[in-house]
Structure 1
Amino acid sequence: MAKNTSIKAEQIDIGDETQIRPYTMNFGPQHPAAHGVLRLILELDGEVVERADPHIGLLHRGTEKLIEYKSYTQALPYFDRLD
């Protein structure tokens, strides 16, 4: 059985204050809130997004090759289906 794990920032106690170190989280196509096939690598500082690195390589479907020998009107439906 899988162990129940959660993502937690590493906390360092400094006197009366607690400092939270930045951490990296993958926000990908498997995430329920992600629409389509966009994948993000997020660097978080607590709840604040410091940096987002998008990976959109999964969006390529070879549209250029599909419409290479089609007329403009035949190619229009392909552009409507782009994610």
Structure 2
Amino acid sequence: MYRTFEQLPAYLIVVSLAMAGLKVSGHIPELTWAVVVAPALALPALVCVVVLAFALAIWLVSLVAAVRSFFRTTTTPQE
């Protein structure tokens, strides 16, 4: 992931120069900054989604455990 961020400035410089060249030659570039930055941030975004999914799963398991524990301690045993 660090290598992605390490190469980002060079990538943006090349794309900026390409867009400037298209503007000078009379063509309107169809690239937006979202399209330019998206490939560089795809891996970190995927890692964030996976980490959030694990965090949500852990939170749900702990919530279920807390609710089960609450109902076990508040109900009287059936004899």
TM-score, with length taken from structure 1: 0.29
Higher RCO (C-alpha 8 Å, min separation 6):
2
Q: Work out which of the two has the higher radius of gyration on C-alpha atoms and give 1 or 2.
A: 2
Higher helix share: 2
TM-score, with length taken from structure 2: 0.30
Higher strand share: 1
